[in-house]
Amino acid sequence: MAAVMPAPAASRLLLSGNEAVARAVWEAGVKVAAAYPGTPSTEMLEVISTYPDLYAEWSVNEKVSLEVAIGAAYAGSRAFCCMKHVGMNVASDALMTLTLTGVIGGLVIAIADDVGLSSSQNEQDSRYWGRFAHVPVLEPADSQEAYAMTLEAYALSEQFQVPVILRMTTRINHVKSLVQVGERVAHRGAGFKKEPGRFVMVPGNAGKRIPLMFKRDIELRALAETSALNFIEPGADRRLGFIASGPAYMHVKECFPEAPVLKLGFSWPVPFEKCRELAALVDQVVVVEEVEPLVETELKAQGLKVIGKEILPLQGELAPNVLKPAIAKLLGEPVPVSSPVVPLPVFPRPPTMCVACPHLGVYYTLSQVRNLTISGDIGCYTLGAGHPWNALDTCVSMGASMGMALGLDKGRGEADKDKRIVAVIGDSTFLHMGMQGLLDMVYNKGNVTVLLLDNRAVGMTGGQDNPGNGRDIYGEEAPRVDFAKLVAALGVKEERIHTVNPYELPVLFKTIRDEVKVPEVSVIITDQPCVLIKDYHKLKPFEVIDDKCTGCGNCIDVGCPAIHVTRRAKEIKPSGREVDLAFVRIESSVCTGCTLCVQPCAPGAIVHYAPVSPIQLVKKGCPA
């Protein structure tokens, strides 16, 4: 990627929260930044990698990314790591010991919580990592605060020699606003100094560090009480006061502009005295927090009378349409009735895979093979659970398809004794957390067929590079993993490893059908690139000859969104059986010529698209 030219000092830029954090990371003099892609955090590192004077990398998973950042911080350099909320589950092993060793150079960990589940398998509240790991948490409410708090986090990190969590949410990550920015200030790392009693966390050393952690807690709580990031905004309406942070603060100000509000920007440790100060100003205090009652629980434990999740939901964003009715009920006021929004009648568009996606052939084939239990994983291929394939039976977390498939095999009951177990996993997910599962499967003699879908990209988050495609975050050439050799090294027998073109349906079908019958671990690798990356090359598109289409619908079962049903009908067979027919057309402008729909077309009605010239249109009687 080309380097971004730094903006002039004190200029204003329109930035998303992710872009604002990236800008601040660069300005703070960070030397090392690492991450694994995950919506809504992905753009932070993508933008950071465009800035000069620092090193950025896509790591194979979040734990490794945090460990890279820790190493840089131990060396005295400023470091940055970012991930989505579920990524911290993976990285927490390192975090929970890092809190004892502390850091030398500043280390900021940005965690993006997907409040509202726009693209995640669960909804978590990452403020709890601050409580659990005894580290401070800062919560911005807009892009300007995301920028400013990132800079503040580095100062705080180095003052207390502790990592700082920057807790963001989807609404901050992706919404843009004007941000006042500055210039980069170089930061010179002191270099790593050997200190085994601090950096070698054997039990004897760790035990001595725990009292220091508790001492730091007291100091951080005292700082939270006086920090300018926590402030009370007075208001004329003393019936209610609010304690809020992040986007919830913005919603409170929009709904109740006359109410006193304690805004928590430095939200952990909770500033108890500041909360008491607000409580003294009002009749009742409502804690508005997304999504768990962390502050509410802490305040109630301190003896403060506050209201929170008794009236507010435990999930989703606390937007005005949620806040206003809840507060009206609390105050005994009429509940505002909003005019119902009548949606326009549009054709339903459930999530689906892209036109010509190489995963289409895999799921079409799996839907044709009977008696399978299919263990799925996290990625765009998770969409195989939907219509028309219905070819995924489980999906829990990244890499889980492997271990769960083994468990499905070993735990099968009498009713499942004849079922064949298949695990589906993507290339980046396999490198992220799937390799260990395959090793365990081989070691424990599982009877599972693994489909390793190599599309040379982290497809779900925007096609980022990974060790499987031979490019780094800068687009430069890098060593590329040979998946066949890798799975062989993990113990899979060479005769049980097959590399297949997923667009060749007969070969794919035969390979899957044959391998599921073999009572041991086998791996089928599909090897075609994601259609949205530069490695993919389009072919000549197709169209449907209307006179030849019999309405059999076989092409629809492939699931390609370029195929549209134009007419439905019913046919009575000589046997008396009623058959549904679906006549189709292909949107040739988006068709890439992958041939997936051609292969199951019984009447041969799908042929290469032949564009009609204007002269031919005139000859056919088309008006000019």
Burial of 21 (0-12, 13-18, 19+ CB in 10 A): buried
For 515-551, letters b (16+ CB in 10 Å) and e give bbeeeebbbbbbbbbbbebebbeeeebbbbeeeebeb
CA distance between the termini of the chain: 47
Q: Is 601 annotated as a binding residue?
A: yes
Q: Is 560 annotated as a binding residue?
A: yes
- Residue 366 CA to residue 382 CA, distance in Å, equals 13
- Residue spans of alpha helices (H) in 28-126: 42-48, 62-74, 85-101
- Residue 78 CA to residue 28 CA, distance in Å, equals 8
Place of tokens 């003699």: 445
Neighbours of 34 (CB within 10 A): 27
- Residue 68 CA to residue 64 CA, distance in Å, equals 6
- CA dihedral angle for residue 374, residue 376, residue 379, residue 381, rounded to 10 degrees: 10
Q: Is 555 annotated as a binding residue?
A: yes
Ranges assigned E (strand) in 8-78 = 12-16, 32-35, 55-58
Q: Is residue 596 within 8 Å of residue 546, measured between CB atoms?
A: no
| Conformation bin of residue 595: beta by default, left when phi > 0, alpha when psi is -120 to 50 | left
Q: Is 594 annotated as a binding residue?
A: yes
Would you state the structure tokens that stand for residue 172, as one six-digit string? 């901050």
Helix/strand/coil for 205: helix
Q: Is 591 annotated as a binding residue?
A: yes
Q: Is residue 548 within 8 Å of residue 475, measured between CB atoms?
A: no
Q: Is 552 annotated as a binding residue?
A: yes
For the annotated binding site for [4Fe-4S] cluster, the residues are 549, 552, 555, 560, 591, 594, 597, 601
For the annotated binding site, the residues are 549, 552, 555, 560, 591, 594, 597, 601
